[in-house]
């Protein structure tokens, strides 16, 4: 059995994210694998019709959200010693983007949490579930427990 060479951590910045990040880091160390990180800004949050009347689609708002997300990604990546060229900030569907980044970068293990930020994710079906069913590589869903 070959060991993992490239592990991708899917980070949603939820309160349990640290547990998922720690597991990915630990595995990367054990397998001496490259560790990458991806965060996807879910553009449903800003374009969904339900918000049309209260939050107009606003390029400034999008840019602002993107800047905050990039900063959070950089902070977490630095904490985990992940090089800049291994940090992926994407927009779109988290499930699809996580899988795309994994495929394009020959990732052989994706690490996700068993759940994340709830809300829209719950309505649409969980990201973890989607990644698990559609990824071509192995997926580790780190079991997270609510306090």
List residues near ligand AMP by CB under 6 A.
10-12, 20, 38-40, 42, 94, 98, 112-113, 115-116, 121, 126-128
The neighbour count for residue 57, using CB atoms within 10 Å, is: 12
DSSP class of residue 16 equals: T
- Taking a C-beta distance cutoff of 8 angstroms, is the pair 132, 10 a contact? no
CB closer to ligand AMP out of 53 and 76: 76
Residue 108 CB partners (closer than 8 Å, separation 6+): 4, 5, 6, 7, 137, 138
* Nearest approach, Cβ of residue 110 and ligand AMP (Å): 9
Could you give the angle at the alpha carbon of 98 between the alpha carbons of 143 and 22, nearest 5°? 40
* Nearest approach, Cβ of residue 41 and ligand AMP (Å): 7
CB closer to ligand AMP out of 33 and 110: 110
CB closer to ligand AMP out of 31 and 43: 43
CB closer to ligand AMP out of 82 and 98: 98
* Nearest approach, Cβ of residue 10 and ligand AMP (Å): 3
Q: What is the DSSP string of 108-141?
A: SEEEEES--S-THHHHH--HHHHHHHH-SSEEEE
* Nearest approach, Cβ of residue 89 and ligand AMP (Å): 9
């Amino acid at each position: 059995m070959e060991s993992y060479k490239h592990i991708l951590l899917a980070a949603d910045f939820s309160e349990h994210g640290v547990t998922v990040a720690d597991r990915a880091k630990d595995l990367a160390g054990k397998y001496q694998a490259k560790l990458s990180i991806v965060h996807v800004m879910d553009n449903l949050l800003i374009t969904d019709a339900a918000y049309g009347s209260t939050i107009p689609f606003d390029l400034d708002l999008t840019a602002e959200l993107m800047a905050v997300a990039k900063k959070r990604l950089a902070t977490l990546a630095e904490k985990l010693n992940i090089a800049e060229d291994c940090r992926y900030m994407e927009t779109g569907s988290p499930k699809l983007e996580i899988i795309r980044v994994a495929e394009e970068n020959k990732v052989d293990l994706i690490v996700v949490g068993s759940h994340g930020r709830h809300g829209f994710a719950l309505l649409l079906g969980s990201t973890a579930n989607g990644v698990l069913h559609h990824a071509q590589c192995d997926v580790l869903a780190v079991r997270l427990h609510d306090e």
